[in-house]
């Protein structure tokens, strides 16, 4: 007997005859895995919502301090119109972010309600979801990143301005060029590399599902 003979035996043997899979246990295991994934997604949604709430409360609080009539005169005297503008922009940005998240959630719910429980309906629902994600995700991502950046910047500026007495605008410490380059690099990767790749994958997945739907319709 040589290696070729052993290899030929190996290829001719199907281990399926030696082992079997308990379909019920496998299904149970996969359902547990699905529940775990759902939990992770819920956590991610909670994280974004909580972050949005923290930004909204912080921006609102800082703006309230700015317009508080009981502040000492030395504080109010050094405030300029730009402080109020920054405060309003910060609060508005968080409201836009909250509104965007709310609208995205409502439109997803509305989309899901339009379909039944059959496999065809599941496929149609998923195709509609992929379509909406591929076309609207860039807009949603842009809105989220822009509003968060604006809000965090506004909060940082206001924090500097309202600490003890307002710090003059000329003395505010701005981010270093290195951090700005890092942020811009991240934004470039996000919008021109990762999101287009994700979009392509979604469109390719959509085409596969459309083919599957066609195959089902033909049965």
Number of residues that bind other proteins (CB under 8 A): 37
User: Of the two residues 179 and 204, which places its CB atom closer to other proteins in the complex?
Assistant: 204
Residue number, 1 or 81, with CB nearest to other proteins: 1
Name the minimum Å distance from CB 10 to other proteins: 5
Burial class, 151, CB count within 10 angstroms (exposed 0-12 / middle 13-18 / buried 19+): buried
Distances (CA, A) of 44 to 50, 68, 129, 197: 10, 36, 19, 21
Judged by CB under 8 A, which stretch of 65-73, 89-97, 176-184, 208-216 contacts other proteins? 208-216
Residue 20 in the binding site for other proteins (CB under 8 A): yes
Q: Alpha helices, DSSP H only, in 68-175? A: 73-77, 81-113, 119-162
Among 107, 135, 179, 208, indicate the residue that binds other proteins (CB under 8 A). Answer: 208
Per-position x/- string for 34-53, each x denoting binding to other proteins as judged by CB under 8 A, each - no binding: x-------------------
Do the Cβ atoms of 213 and 120 come closer than 8 Å? yes
Cβ proximity to other proteins: between 145 and 209 the closer is 209
Q: What's the full length of the chain, in residues? A: 219
Distance of CA 50 to the CA centre of its chain: 13
Residues 6+ apart with CB under 8 A from 71: 65
Identify residues 107-126 at the interface with other proteins (CB under 8 A): 119, 122-123, 125-126
Nearer to other proteins, 26 or 180 (CB): 26
Site string for other proteins, 183-202 (x = CB under 8 A): ------------------x-
Smallest gap from Cβ 90 to other proteins, in A, equals 39
Please tell me the distance from the alpha carbon of residue 133 to that of residue 146, in angstroms, as a whole number.
19
Which is nearest to 61 in space by CA: 151, 147, 143, 171? 151
Least separation in angstroms between residue 147's CB and other proteins is: 30
Q: What is the distance between the alpha carbons of residues 146 and 180, in angstroms, rounded to a whole number?
A: 14
Euclidean distance between CA atoms 24 and 2, whole angstroms: 42
Query: Which residues are near other proteins by CB under 8 A?
Result: 1-3, 5-7, 9-11, 13-22, 25-26, 28-30, 33-34, 119, 122-123, 125-126, 201, 204-205, 208-209, 212
């Amino acid at each position: 007997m040589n290696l070729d003979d052993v290899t030929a035996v190996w290829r001719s043997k199907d281990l399926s005859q030696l082992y079997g899979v308990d379909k019920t246990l496998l299904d149970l295991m996969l359902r547990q895995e699905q529940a775990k994934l759902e939990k992770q997604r819920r956590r991610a949604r909670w994280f974004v919502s909580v972050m949005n709430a923290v930004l909204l409360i912080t921006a609102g609080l800082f703006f309230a301090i700015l317009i508080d009539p009981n502040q000492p005169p030395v504080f109010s005297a050094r405030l300029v119109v730009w402080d109020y503008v920054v405060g309003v922009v910060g609060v508005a940005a968080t409201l836009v972010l909250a509104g965007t998240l709310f609208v995205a959630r409502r439109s997803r719910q509305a989309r899901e309600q339009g379909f039944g429980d059959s496999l065809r309906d599941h496929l149609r629902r998923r195709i509609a979801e992929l379509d909406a994600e591929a076309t609207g995700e860039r807009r949603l991502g842009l809105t989220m990143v822009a509003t968060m950046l604006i809000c965090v910047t506004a909060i940082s500026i206001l924090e500097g301005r309202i600490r003890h007495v307002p710090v003059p605008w000329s003395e505010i410490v701005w981010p270093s060029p290195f951090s700005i380059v890092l942020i811009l690099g991240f934004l470039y990767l996000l919008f021109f590399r990762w999101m287009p790749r994700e979009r392509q994958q979604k469109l390719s997945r959509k085409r596969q599902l459309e083919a599957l739907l066609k195959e089902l319709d033909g049965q």
